Amino acid sequence: MINILVLCTGNSCRSQIAHGYLDHFTDSKKVKIYSAGVETHGVNPKAITIMQEDGIDISHHTSNNIDEYFNIPFDYVITVCDNAKERCPFFPSKAVKLHYNFPDPAKATGTDDEITNEFILVRKMIQQYCKNFVDDNNLN
């Protein structure tokens, strides 16, 4: 089994979206996806909504702290924000660390439509990143 951890600051938006797409794109018999934050902020309701619009249900996800996963031998650790990369703890494993700093849609301001559009933009970025990651590493 290949274990993948997606890590961000609060495990509320970006890592949850990536978790959903990685679950969607990978073979669950070969790959187990985890997501966590260096803090926990709860799963953002807008993240749940915009993922449902793309046919992926993350409503059952929980916001988890990285400390919960120290005993798991990760093969990949993907940080999805600079803050998490800087605060990412050392994993005593062969984990390959990857990083991409996605914008934080939870910090978007403006009208409700403008905020939703920012969530959709970030969702599309994360979707493409996850698809490329899965294809490049033959995890589908």
Q: Which residues of the chain have pLDDT under 70?
A: 83-93
Which structure tokens are listed for 66?
Answer: 């990285």
List, for residues 49-76, the tens digit of each pLDDT value: 999 999 999 999 999 998 899 889 999 9
Continuous segment of H or E residues that includes residue 87? helix 82-87
Catalytic residues: 8, 81, 88
Nearest to 56 by CA among 1, 11, 84, 16: 16
The neighbour count for residue 54, using CB atoms within 10 Å, is 14
What pTM value is reported for the model?
Answer: 0.93
Fold of 2-136: Rossmann fold (3.40.50)
List, in order, residues 6 or more apart from 97 with CB less than 8 Å away: 76, 77, 78, 79, 88
| pLDDT for residue 91 | 54
Nearest to 11 by CA among 81, 91, 71, 116: 81
| pLDDT for residue 10 | 87
| pLDDT for residue 118 | 96
